[in-house]
């Protein structure tokens, strides 16, 4: 670690020069939260299955909802208490110093808000809120998790009992699962996240565009930009000729358009960058 620090600083100095005097809009993805213990392939509170459930499947049957909610609840039980890491905190600190205008995130874990960022656009929604599909009432995820534990006392066993080796919930676990319901109208509930097969609400994307417009540089942190929402933000930054800095362990779909790419951990790079800029 120590031997790599001088080279990291050498790498970051031109980046700091590029960003000096500019107000940064951040775009973040799953890679930012891996150091908070949230595996990139699942996200906070989502099911540990390999194939994500589409909204059509979810809405199509109570059996699918039981499968989704059981898997999602097990994920939440493991990752719901995750804390922000130095990457989240560096972004919040840059915003409070007026060096950043805010953050557009593809993450649904709520960790930017937990870190103290004020202006946050959660493009794909948040696992921390649950909505009633009938009356629209919002609930905190913790309240819904408590309802699930209360209606399903048999869940008090290790995850391995409930999950098949491939990470999917066992059909026999799903059969007896009692779904959480809206305590106002008894309607069905869904986490306030954009499912596969759903679109980001247009007004939310417009809010993200407005955030980007209020900045004059874009820093992408922890996203491989495989999701189209990220590419759409990059395209808008390109059209305005903004400097684009990408910090991601893996190559991304937008590396060709970046002014600089840094292949290193966001929880190391962002605090170092914050220090150089302050």
Report the catalytic residues: 124
Q: Between 78 and 137, whose beta carbon lies closer to Zn ion? A: 137
C-alpha 137: how far from chain center: 23
Distance from C-alpha of 25 to C-alpha of 144, rounded to nearest angstrom: 33
* Complex with Zn ion: residue 21 or 136, whichever CB lies closer: 136
Smallest distance, Zn ion to C-beta of residue 12, A: 49
Closest CB 186 distance from Zn ion, rounded Å: 7
Closest Cα to residue 273, out of 217, 203, 223, 192?
217
Smallest separation, CB 131 to Zn ion (Å): 9
Of 86 and 191, CB closest to Zn ion: 191
Distance CA 116, CA 92 (A): 6
* Structure token digits, residue 38: 């949230």
Q: How far is CA 115 from CA 3, 72, 95, in A?
A: 29, 23, 11
Count of Cβ atoms closer than 10 Å to residue 153 Cβ? 7
Does 182 bind Zn ion (CB under 5 A)? Our answer is yes
Exactly one of 135, 143, 161, 206 binds Zn ion (CB under 5 A); which one?
A: 135
Q: Is 134 in the site for Zn ion (CB under 5 A)?
A: yes
Q: Which of 132, 148, 244, 273 binds Zn ion (CB under 5 A)?
A: 132
Smallest gap from residue 137 Cβ to Zn ion (A): 5
Which of these ranges, 7-15, 134-142, 237-245, 261-269, lies near Zn ion under the rule CB under 5 A? 134-142
- Distances in Å between the Cα of 33 and the Cα atoms of 109, 112, 270 are 8, 10, 13
Backbone dihedral angles phi then psi of residue 154, each to the nearest 5 degrees: -65, -10
Interface stretch with Zn ion, choices 30-38, 94-102, 127-135, 252-260 (CB under 5 A): 127-135
Considering only the C-alpha atoms of the chain, give the largest distance between any 2 of them, rounded to a whole number of Å.
Answer: 60
In the chain, alpha helices (H): 5-19, 55-60, 62-79, 86-96, 111-115, 141-151, 159-162, 171-175, 202-213, 228-239, 266-277
**Shortest spacing between CB 151 and Zn ion, in angstroms:** 17
- One of 39, 187, 243, 271 touching Zn ion (CB under 5 A): 187
**CA 18, 19, 22, 28 torsion-angle sign:** positive
271 near Zn ion, rule: CB under 5 A: no
Q: Which of residues 216-245 bind Zn ion (CB under 5 A)?
A: none
Q: Is residue 184 close enough to count as binding Zn ion by CB under 5 A?
A: yes
Asked if residue 185 binds Zn ion (CB under 5 A), the reply is yes
Indicate whether 258 belongs to the interface with Zn ion (CB under 5 A). no
Which three-class secondary structure state does DSSP give residue 61? Answer: coil
- Closer CB to Zn ion, residue 116 or residue 187? 187
**Shortest Cβ 144–Zn ion spacing (Å):** 12
Sites of contact with Zn ion (CB under 5 A): 132, 134-135, 137, 182, 184-185, 187
């Amino acid at each position: 670690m120590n031997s790599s620090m001088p080279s990291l600083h050498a790498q970051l100095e031109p980046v700091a020069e590029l960003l000096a005097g500019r107000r940064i809009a951040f775009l973040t993805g799953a890679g930012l939260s891996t150091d908070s213990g949230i595996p990139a392939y699942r996200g906070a509170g989502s099911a540990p299955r390999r194939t994500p459930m589409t909204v059509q499947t979810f809405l199509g049957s109570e059996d699918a909802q039981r499968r989704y909610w059981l898997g999602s609840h097990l994920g939440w039980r493991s990752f719901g208490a995750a804390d922000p890491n130095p990457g989240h905190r560096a972004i919040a600190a840059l915003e409070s110093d007026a060096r950043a205008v805010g953050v557009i995130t593809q993450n649904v874990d709520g960790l930017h808000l937990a870190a103290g960022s004020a202006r946050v656009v959660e493009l794909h929604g948040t696992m921390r809120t649950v909505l009633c599909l009938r009356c629209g009432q919002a609930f905190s995820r913790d309240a819904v998790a408590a309802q699930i534990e209360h209606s399903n006392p048999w869940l008090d066993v290790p995850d391995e009992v409930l999950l098949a080796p491939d990470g999917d919930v066992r059909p026999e676990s799903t059969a007896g699962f009692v779904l959480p319901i809206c305590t106002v109208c008894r309607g069905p509930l869904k986490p306030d996240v954009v499912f596969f097969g759903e679109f980001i609400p247009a007004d939310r994307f417009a809010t993200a565009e407005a955030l980007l417009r209020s900045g004059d540089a874009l820093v992408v942190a922890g996203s491989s930009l495989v999701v189209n929402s990220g590419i759409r933000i990059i395209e808008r930054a390109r059209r305005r000729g903004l400097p684009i800095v990408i910090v991601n362990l893996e190559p991304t779909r937008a590396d060709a358009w970046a002014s600089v790419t840094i292949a290193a951990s966001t929880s190391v790079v962002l605090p170092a960058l914050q220090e150089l800029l302050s």
